[in-house]
Amino acid sequence: MNATKYKGLALFILAVSQLVMALDYTIIFVAMPSLGSELGFSANHLQWVVSAYSLAFGGFLLIGGRLSDLMGRRRMFIIAMALFGLGSLMGGLAESQLMLIAARGLQGLGGALLSPATLSLIMSNFNEGPERNRAMGIWASMGGVGMSLGLLLGGALTSYVGWEATFLVNVPISLLAVILAPFVLTESKAPAGAKHYDAAGTLSVTAGLLSVVYYLIQAPVEGWVSASVLPFALTGVLLLAAFIAIEKRTKEPLISFRMFRNRNLTGAALTAFLFSASFGSLYYFLTLYTQDVLHYSAIQSGFSFLPLTLSAFVGAKLINTMLAKVGVAGTIAAGMGLGAVGFLMLTGLFASGSAWSIIPGTVIIGIGQALVFTTMFIAGSAGIEPNEQGIASALISTGQQIGGAIGLAVIMAIISASLGTGSTLEHLQPADLNSAIHTAFLISAATTLLGILVAFLALKQPKPKLDEIKVTATH
Q: Domain extents for the chain?
A: 7-185+252-458, 197-251
Q: Are 273 and 453 in contact (CB under 8 A)?
A: no
Q: What is the pLDDT of residue 192?
A: 53
Q: Please report the pLDDT score of residue 3 as a whole number.
A: 45
Predicted pLDDT of residue 129: 65
CATH numeric code, 7-185+252-458: 1.20.1250.20
Report the pLDDT value the prediction gives residue 333, as an integer from 0 to 100: 95
Nearest CA to 440 among 280, 216, 213, 307? 280
Give the pLDDT means over successive 10-residue stretches in the chain (475 positions): 66 89 81 85 74 82 81 91 96 92 93 86 76 76 76 85 92 93 81 64 84 80 83 93 87 76 86 93 87 85 84 84 89 96 95 88 93 85 71 83 82 80 69 91 96 87 46 38
The closest alpha carbon to 335, from 201, 423, 454, 240, belongs to 454
How many residues make up the chain in this entry? 475
Alpha carbons 64 and 20: distance in angstroms, whole number: 18
pLDDT at 53: 85
Give the C-alpha separation, 133 to 468, whole Å. 9
